[in-house]
Structure 1
Amino acid sequence: MATAPPAPPTSRARTDFPLPALIVMACTGFLVIMTETLPAGLLPQLAAGLQVSEGGAGQLVSAYAIGTVLAAIPAAAWTREARRRPLLLAGLCGFLVANTVTALAPSLAVALTARFVAGSFSGLLWGMLAGYARRIAAPEHAGRALAVAMAGTPVALSVGTPLGSWLGSTVGWRWSFAAMTLLAALVMAATRVLVPDASGQRAQTRVSIPRVLGLPGVTTILVVVFVWMLAHNLLYTYIAPYLREAHLALRPDLALVVFGVAALVGIWITGLFIDRALRRLTLVSVSLFVVAGAALLAAQGSLIVALVAIVLWGVAFGGAATHLQTAMGEAARENADVANAMLTTSFNLAIFGGGALGAVVVEGIGARMLPAGLLVLALIALSVVGCGRRTAFPTHR
């Protein structure tokens, strides 16, 4: 008579809310976003240090994004059965090495290679992190666990990137990347101590990538991810020219700090309600994008209106990743890691699209019209979420 398999080592962790482990995961997200966005605030220093134009230095951002897009889905597919903590440590080690090489890079070619490698490890980590966070928490707290694990993103955008830019402009850009190396080492040490292991996907539950894409709700969620994040990046990427052309007496860095703090509020609200109100939270968040877009479009010269709109935009964006990854996890179930890798790819394609489409708007009709694009795209995303009441964003969970 066959005996039951032993319980996985995560069974004890699932009885409580594993806050220390989730904070470590949030620090991982902070590291990933900081590494991605750091060059954008250091273009003059990077250009001078590597003896290239600012446009050439800007390719360090592109190389990272390309690595993420190309690696996310294959990495998730190849590592489905791997245990989660060793995989997390491997990803963090990749960031440690890549940031070290970037800090020491003697030429643009070496730096671009290191950035591509960092982007590839980003694809690996974003593909697994959401599923890992949900896996080590009790099922009734899975959404709240994901909200905590994703908190590193707005903190990095609102505090980390400006701090890294200040460090680079004060003591040199190489020290900023060296700081990322130190952070990676600290997060690795914390992972070994605080993060419980979890099993990978069972072989009998694996399906092919095309079949994951065909699971009910998955394609709908990917469409929402792309359209919603395209709306966000359209304005976020070009916030400086928008503020200037809208005649708003607000510095871009201060606007982004307001946005980041509001995003933290959005994550807190999401953590309170995500496990019982996913559909309503998503509808409210996308609706706030619509309101923010309309307000920013009308805020020509009105600082108060603009600040209120930025706060609403930040609150809506703060919980967006948690809403979308929770929806994807429930739609894909055992294949959530691969599905979240698809989500990561769609997200990064939206970043590309936001930059490209925003450039067309800025050079064509002017940056002051960017909120109109955000408004239209948010309305499209809202209609798709509304139509996904059966599988993607179900009314009853």
Structure 2
Amino acid sequence: MATTLQAPTPPAAETRTRLPLATLAALAVIGFVLVAMETMPAGLLPIIANGMSTSEGTIGLYVSAYALGTVIVTIPAITLTRGMRRKPLILVAILGLILANTTTALSSDVTLSLASRFVAGSFSGIIWGMLAAYGRTISPPSRAGLSLAIVSAGAPVGFALGTPLGSWLGMTFDWRWAFIGLSAVALVAGAAIAVIAPDAPGQSGKSRLPIVRVLRIPGLLIILAVIFTWMLAHNTIYTYISPYLRAANSDLTVDLQLFIFGVASIVGIVITGALLDRYPRPLLHGSVLVFIAAGGVLPVGHTSTVAIIVATVLWGITFGGAAAQLQAALTTTGGADSDVANSFLPVAFNLAIFTAGILGAALLTNFDGLVLTIVMMVSGLAALALTIYGRRNAFPAHL
């Protein structure tokens, strides 16, 4: 059984001894764009609402429409495109993403904007499903963990800096320039991929598993459950960080805390890149444990600015490496069907974002922001229990 879970090594990869760093960096930039594109409207709600002459609640649907496109389209799209060569497919998806996002930037009609956000989310899901497996395929097998860490670096940076950067552009110039800026970044990264990225073959028809059988691969559902519970723990407090700081009566501003979180996330990426190839399972267990510890410091030390900063640093370090660790598990466990396996990641992630928004809003109607740290700890403990339970099939000792 262990043999069937190992992704086959393409012939081109056998002769590669160097990481295609420039290509992996370009893929990481695309990851940054995907996350920033999804979360940026949250920091521009009043500005966009005023510019579109509508309510903030309506503009809040920009995030929901994007997430809905990802959830609905990702898995069937990845399933239908498994036989296509990887480079042309990702370039087409990036082009579609740019066109949809630019439509949002130029649109003066809310309905058209929501439709373009749905389409952008759909292309985003296709790209997410490809990034990890593509980056790993074009890299030396011995550097699989490092390649995944590099490709995954864009996601936490997008979460930490995408919304603040978009807010700054929107307030300094015009909200439309924030969207145009992301389209420009995606265009440059896509052009770099077109010029320098090696191609990779699609999957032959004989080796493809039906999507239901992919879900039955031992360990896959456990990994998806970890993604959902861990990201629920993260997003419940990340989305509502302002109510927490208000309840803590902290001198920290939201922008400063997110900046600290972002820097710590980059540290987490570095640590993950150094350890993932050799110690994937201990790294995952340790990351979730430190995440839970950060969740414990936030309520206990809420009266101390230093304690909040320490907790934020620990939280950021663990989150920074989470994407690479979970994508590595999906890619290894998915084996020959790793593209389809990875397509479930954005679905689980966006379901966690959706659930966190509802759960956080419900809790804050009856409690103050400190209650969010309880969700962070409880859901984090659930994720830890799942990583221990799935250590045999879902989280191997070696990639």
**Shared fold, TM over 0.5:** yes
Structure-2 separation of matches of 1:166 and 1:359: 26
Please say if residues 10 and 196 of structure 1, whose CA atoms lie closer than 8 Å, have aligned partners that are also in contact.
Answer: no
Summarize deviations over 1:101-147 as a string: whole Å, max 9, x none. Answer: 11110111111011000000011000111110111111111111010
Q: Could you tell me which residue of structure 1 aligns to residue 340 of structure 2?
A: 338
Q: Could you tell me which residue of structure 2 aligns to residue 50 of structure 1?
A: 52
Q: Could you tell me which residue of structure 1 aligns to residue 388 of structure 2?
A: 386
Choose which of 54, 60, 78 in structure 1 pairs with 2:80: 78
- TM-score after normalising by structure 2: 0.95
Structure-2 separation of matches of 1:13 and 1:62: 44
The RMSD of aligned alpha carbons is 1.4
Deviation at 1:167, TM superposition (A): 0.9
The residue type paired with residue 59 of structure 1 is: L
Structure-1 separation of matches of 2:390 and 2:112: 45
Is 2:366 aligned against 1:356?
A: no
Cα pair distance change 1:106/1:81, threshold 3 Å: same
Cα pair distance change 1:12/1:391, threshold 3 Å: closer
Q: Could you tell me which residue of structure 2 aligns to residue 140 of structure 1?
A: 142
* Other structure's SS at 2:395 match: coil
Q: Could you tell me which residue of structure 2 aligns to residue 368 of structure 1?
A: 370
Choose which of 231, 235, 238 in structure 2 pairs with 1:229: 231
Structure-2 separation of matches of 1:11 and 1:272: 21
Is 2:67 aligned against 1:65?
A: yes
Structure-2 separation of matches of 1:245 and 1:81: 52
Q: Could you tell me which residue of structure 2 aligns to residue 150 of structure 1?
A: 152
Q: Could you tell me which residue of structure 1 aligns to residue 291 of structure 2?
A: 289
Structure-1 separation of matches of 2:350 and 2:28: 19
Report which stretch shifted further, 199-208 or 117-126: 199-208
Cα pair distance change 1:113/1:10, threshold 3 Å: farther
Question: Percent identity, aligned pairs only?
Answer: 49
Cα pair distance change 1:172/1:9, threshold 3 Å: farther
Report which stretch shifted further, 306-315 or 179-188: 179-188
Cα pair distance change 1:143/1:262, threshold 3 Å: same
Deviation at 1:9, TM superposition (A): 8.0
- TM-score after normalising by structure 1: 0.96
Structure 1 unaligned regions, length at least 5: 1-6
Cα pair distance change 1:11/1:140, threshold 3 Å: closer
The residue type paired with residue 179 of structure 2 is: F
Please say if residues 69 and 348 of structure 1, whose CA atoms lie closer than 8 Å, have aligned partners that are also in contact.
Answer: yes
Is 2:260 aligned against 1:255?
A: no
Please give the residue correspondences for 1:119-268 in structure 2 after superposition, counting only pairs within 5 Å: 119-268=121-270
Summarize deviations over 1:149-172 as a string: whole Å, max 9, x none. Answer: 111122222333312211111111
State the aligned residue count. Answer: 391
Q: Could you tell me which residue of structure 1 aligns to residue 327 of structure 2?
A: 325
Deviation at 1:8, TM superposition (A): 6.4
Is 2:109 aligned against 1:107?
A: yes
* Other structure's SS at 1:15 match: coil
Structure-2 separation of matches of 1:122 and 1:149: 15
Q: Could you tell me which residue of structure 1 aligns to residue 118 of structure 2?
A: 116
Structure-1 separation of matches of 2:165 and 2:235: 21
Deviation at 1:13, TM superposition (A): 7.3
Please say if residues 13 and 196 of structure 1, whose CA atoms lie closer than 8 Å, have aligned partners that are also in contact.
Answer: no
Please say if residues 13 and 139 of structure 2, whose CA atoms lie closer than 8 Å, have aligned partners that are also in contact.
Answer: no
Q: Could you tell me which residue of structure 1 aligns to residue 38 of structure 2?
A: 36
Q: Could you tell me which residue of structure 1 aligns to residue 6 of structure 2?
A: none
The residue type paired with residue 368 of structure 1 is: L
Structure 2 unaligned regions, length at least 5: 1-8
Q: Could you tell me which residue of structure 2 aligns to residue 3 of structure 1?
A: none
Structure-2 separation of matches of 1:162 and 1:195: 31
Structure-1 separation of matches of 2:268 and 2:246: 27
